[in-house]
């Protein structure tokens, strides 16, 4: 009779209770603590990181635009010729009827404010040109700050505005304009002009990103300039305008900048010239700086918002 063979194994078979104990111990060893909500790592630079990125990218774009201006100096012809034409026409064609030599000194502050306002059309046209040529599409495909792209355009256009200011100052000195104050008010006046040029360029950027073509941007960029510049106290006293036009002129930022610059240079109105009155006229420098900040606060978000809408298409 065959005896059944019993197979033995080394070691001890684990009892059911032992298996449960070992399984529990293994689970305790391999268990992973529950995670809380995901918190992304804070970018380098902390809360200032977006501002630093915008400044860095804006500087790159601005440098590119300045290099293009150096390679195509013909683009500056309008920025140089326009203030010369306005100075000569207003100083010698109309100046004799408005006060002669005294009016020529009074005129320069208005020409500075008017020219910088007109320079916003350069921002509109060149930004629309970049948009139409596909350059902005290339920027959109890169990890660049949206604010930086537009900031580079508005910053680089300060070069054109600076050249225009220099040309007007030289023309003014040639026709008899002089400064009658100390260095402090003069520097404050030039600082205000630079800030105003930067602020007004954001209007041009908003127009360009809304129009998205050079032709439309050029038309819209010039459409608002003439009423804003000439319904103001840039060339005449706001008190000489009738009714509603007088109120518009008194609170016009162009009037505030022109008046503040005249005060900074010590240029008095001609004898018999009606002097504007009111809070805006009495606090022209303060009101001019407030207007510049308000323009940036209003039109910079509009321009960036338009750029984001274009990026989503």
Q: What is the mean pLDDT of residues 172-201?
A: 94
Residue 303 φ then ψ, to 5°: -65, -45
pLDDT digits (tens, 9 = 90+) for 175-186: 888 999 999 999
| Radius of gyration (C-alpha) of the chain in whole angstroms | 33
Higher pLDDT, 136 or 237: 237
The pLDDT confidence band at residue 295, using thresholds 50, 70 and 90, is very high
Task: Supply the pTM of this predicted model.
Answer: 0.79
pLDDT value of residue 75: 67
pLDDT digits (tens, 9 = 90+) for 26-61: 444 444 445 544 444 445 556 677 777 777 877 888
Q: What is the mean pLDDT of residues 65-69?
A: 78
The pLDDT confidence band at residue 302, using thresholds 50, 70 and 90, is very high
pLDDT value of residue 141: 72
- Cα–Cα distance measured from residue 254 to residue 118, given in angstroms and rounded to the nearest whole number: 11
pLDDT value of residue 42: 47
Tell me the angle at which helices 253-265 and 101-118 cross, rounded to the nearest 10 degrees.
Answer: 130
- Whether 281 has a pLDDT exceeding 70, the answer reads yes
- Cα–Cα distance measured from residue 138 to residue 148, given in angstroms and rounded to the nearest whole number: 14
The answer to whether 208 and 124 are in contact (CB under 8 A) is yes
- Cα–Cα distance measured from residue 114 to residue 110, given in angstroms and rounded to the nearest whole number: 6
In the chain the first and final C-alpha atoms are separated, in Å, by 91
- Whether 4 has a pLDDT exceeding 50, the answer reads no
Q: What is the mean pLDDT of residues 96-106?
A: 77
- Whether 3 has a pLDDT exceeding 70, the answer reads no
pLDDT more than 70, % of the chain? 82
pLDDT value of residue 313: 61
The average confidence (pLDDT) of the chain is: 80
């Amino acid at each position: 009779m065959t005896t059944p063979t019993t197979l033995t194994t080394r070691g001890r078979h684990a009892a059911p209770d032992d298996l449960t104990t070992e399984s529990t111990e293994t689970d305790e060893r391999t268990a992973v603590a529950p995670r809380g909500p995901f918190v992304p790592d804070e970018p380098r630079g902390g809360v200032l990181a977006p501002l630093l990125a915008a400044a860095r990218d804006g500087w790159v774009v601005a440098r590119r635009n300045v290099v293009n201006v150096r390679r195509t100096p013909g683009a500056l012809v309008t920025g140089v010729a326009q203030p010369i034409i306005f100075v000569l026409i207003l100083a010698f064609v109309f100046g004799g009827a408005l006060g002669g030599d005294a009016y020529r000194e009074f005129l320069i502050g208005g020409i500075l404010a008017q020219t910088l306002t007109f320079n916003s059309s350069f921002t509109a046209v060149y930004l629309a040109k970049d948009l139409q040529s596909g350059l902005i599409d290339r920027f959109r495909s890169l990890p660049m700050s949206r604010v930086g792209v537009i900031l580079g355009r508005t910053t680089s256009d300060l070069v054109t505005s600076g050249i225009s200011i220099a040309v007007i100052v030289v023309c003014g000195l040639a026709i008899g304009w002089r400064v009658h104050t100390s260095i402090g008010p003069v520097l404050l006046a030039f600082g205000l002009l630079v800030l105003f040029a930067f602020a007004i360029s954001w209007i041009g950027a908003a127009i360009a990103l809304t129009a998205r073509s050079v032709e439309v941007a050029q038309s819209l960029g010039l459409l608002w300039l003439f009423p804003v510049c000439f319904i103001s106290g840039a060339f005449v006293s706001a008190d000489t305008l009738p009714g509603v036009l007088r109120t518009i002129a008194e609170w016009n930022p162009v009037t505030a900048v022109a008046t503040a610059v005249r005060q900074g240079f010590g240029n008095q109105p001609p004898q018999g010239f009606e002097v504007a009155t009111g809070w805006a006229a009495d606090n022209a420098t303060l009101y001019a700086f407030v207007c510049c900040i308000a323009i940036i606060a209003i039109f910079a978000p509009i321009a960036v918002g338009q750029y984001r809408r274009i990026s989503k298409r």
